Amino acid sequence: MKITLFFLVILFSISSKLSLAYPNYIGHGYTSCLNCHYNPFGNGPLNDYGRAVSATLISARWAYPKTWTEEDLAEKSGTLFRKPKQDWFRTQFNYRRFRLTRNPGSAKNETELWLTMQADARAIIKFGENDKFTSVVNYGYAPAPLSQVSGVSNKDSWRSREHYIGYKINPKVGVYAGLMDKVYGVRLVEHIAFSRSLPQVTMNDQAHGIAVHYLNDKWEGGINGFLGNLSQEENLRMKGGSTMVERTIGDIHRIGASYMSSRNKFYSLQSYSMHTRLNLKDGASIIAEIGEVQKDIESTQSTIKSRYGLLQTYLRPARGFYVLNNIEYAKADTSDENYIVRWGPAIQIFPAQRIELRGDIYNTRVFGPETSVPDNWTLLLQTHLWL
């Protein structure tokens, strides 16, 4: 495999369509998603602590008077900049829009597209010590996938992204029931990463089910049984189960593994992966994942195997400023000699709390003995606001 690594660029990653988790914050010492999210596996609304972290540790403070303390910033991290007046109800609003440019700089082939990727309203009800009971509803805008925009196509829609009840049996064990993301792999913000699309755990793949979460000093993991999305046609729903387990190494790093087995009327899918998240200190981190997916198709009695790999590096030159690099590998069919390498350097800036600006440029190259395909370049600029 030849990978030409060059080009230093500026701008953002493939499509942070959703407010997924930011697993790179292990670089700040946050090994578990539970610290900042109501969903212990990441994604979805931030809890009060997570909002305070985003306002202080993550975001720059260039825009604020020097007399404001970190405590002042944290107090203003609530919805509409207000400190909540009660403990049991929270709301959040998220908005993302990006500009996608294909073949940037090409007078002949450059195309540009503006997309609203997310406009979500979220409500959280919680009570009990340490949010023992929670109920989360996330309702919002779901744009039709880019690949389906042309021609007679699915339309944009408004849908419930997730709605579930959670109950913490004790500080180590929680049970969650409802519509949630499947428990599998690293929940990257780049939802179309091959490590998300090939195992079918993208921004649109939530399923109704039950998940059990476990956390102790060294281990964190979960088991998820699911029935597919019950609002989808019955024969398309992927029913099955998945599990993910992570082990803390040296107090600050994680290694983990995942397995998922599911089926619908047309095929069964088995997927397994290994991953690691490494804390390089001061906000810097490395995330890596490799995996394999196998589809056994009923009608043809045939099998398709796919493999994928991911390596992400995050550096944090200054507070509120991240520089990242994303390298992905995918072989959609292992019996085919072709494979894809996608490389995407990016910058991510949080100039003030509730604002994220990100720019990626990524290069996609197809390798194979039979194909001679020119590289594909894409530029993405993103604005993400939350209240």
**Binding to another protein (CB under 8 A): which residues in 315-344?**
330, 332, 336, 338-340
Tell the burial category of 130 from Cβ atoms under 10 Å away from its Cβ (0-12, 13-18, 19+): exposed
297 binds another protein (CB under 8 A): yes
Which residue from 10, 144, 173, 274 is in contact with another protein, where contact means CB under 8 A? 144
3-state secondary structure 64-127: CCCCCCHHHHHHCCCHHHCCCCCCCEEEEEEEEEEEEEECCCCCCCCEEEEEEEEEEEEEEEEE
* Cβ pair 211, 222 in contact under 8 A: yes
Q: Name residues contacting another protein, limited to 17-56 (CB under 8 A).
A: none
> Which of 58, 183 has the CB closer to another protein?
183
Q: How many Cβ atoms from other residues are within 10 Å of residue 167's Cβ?
A: 14
Q: How many Cβ atoms from other residues are within 10 Å of residue 103's Cβ?
A: 16
Which residue from 308, 343, 350, 362 is in contact with another protein, where contact means CB under 8 A? 308
Q: Which amino acid is at 288?
A: A
235 binds another protein (CB under 8 A): yes
Please identify, among the stretches 5-13, 44-52, 211-219, 292-300, the one whose residues bind another protein according to the rule CB under 8 A: 292-300
Nearest distance from C-beta of residue 34 to another protein, angstroms:
20
Long-range Cβ contact pairs of 269-273 (< 8 A, separation 24 or more): 269/199, 269/200, 269/238, 269/240, 269/293, 269/294, 269/295, 269/296, 270/294, 270/296, 271/184, 271/198, 271/199, 271/200, 273/184, 273/185, 273/195, 273/199
Which residue from 151, 217, 301, 335 is in contact with another protein, where contact means CB under 8 A? 151
> Which of 302, 383 has the CB closer to another protein?
302
Nearest distance from C-beta of residue 327 to another protein, angstroms:
14
Which residue from 231, 234, 281, 387 is in contact with another protein, where contact means CB under 8 A? 231
> Which of 56, 378 has the CB closer to another protein?
378
Interatomic CA distance for residues 40 and 56, integer angstroms = 21
Coil, helix or strand at residue 350:
coil
Nearest distance from C-beta of residue 330 to another protein, angstroms:
4
Coil, helix or strand at residue 269:
strand
> Which of 96, 342 has the CB closer to another protein?
342
Please identify, among the stretches 19-27, 52-60, 137-145, 309-317, the one whose residues bind another protein according to the rule CB under 8 A: 137-145
Which residue from 63, 274, 298, 387 is in contact with another protein, where contact means CB under 8 A? 298
* Closest to 24 (Cα-Cα) out of 188, 222, 218: 188
> Which of 71, 298 has the CB closer to another protein?
298
* Number of residues located near another protein, criterion CB under 8 A: 76
- In whole angstroms, what separates CA 350 from the centre of its chain? 18
* Cβ pair 44, 162 in contact under 8 A: yes
Q: Name residues contacting another protein, limited to 84-103 (CB under 8 A).
A: 88, 102-103
Nearest distance from C-beta of residue 333 to another protein, angstroms:
9
79 binds another protein (CB under 8 A): no
Which residue from 7, 62, 81, 158 is in contact with another protein, where contact means CB under 8 A? 158
- Residues 247-266: x where in contact with another protein by CB under 8 A, - otherwise, as a string: -----------------xxx
* Closest to 207 (Cα-Cα) out of 174, 236, 237: 237
* Closest to 309 (Cα-Cα) out of 326, 334, 338, 329: 329
Interatomic CA distance for residues 336 and 331, integer angstroms = 8
Can you read off the two tokens belonging to residue 136? 């989360």
- Residues 186-225: x where in contact with another protein by CB under 8 A, - otherwise, as a string: ------x-x--xx-x-x-xx--------------------
Nearest distance from C-beta of residue 136 to another protein, angstroms:
8
Which residue from 97, 99, 132, 159 is in contact with another protein, where contact means CB under 8 A? 159
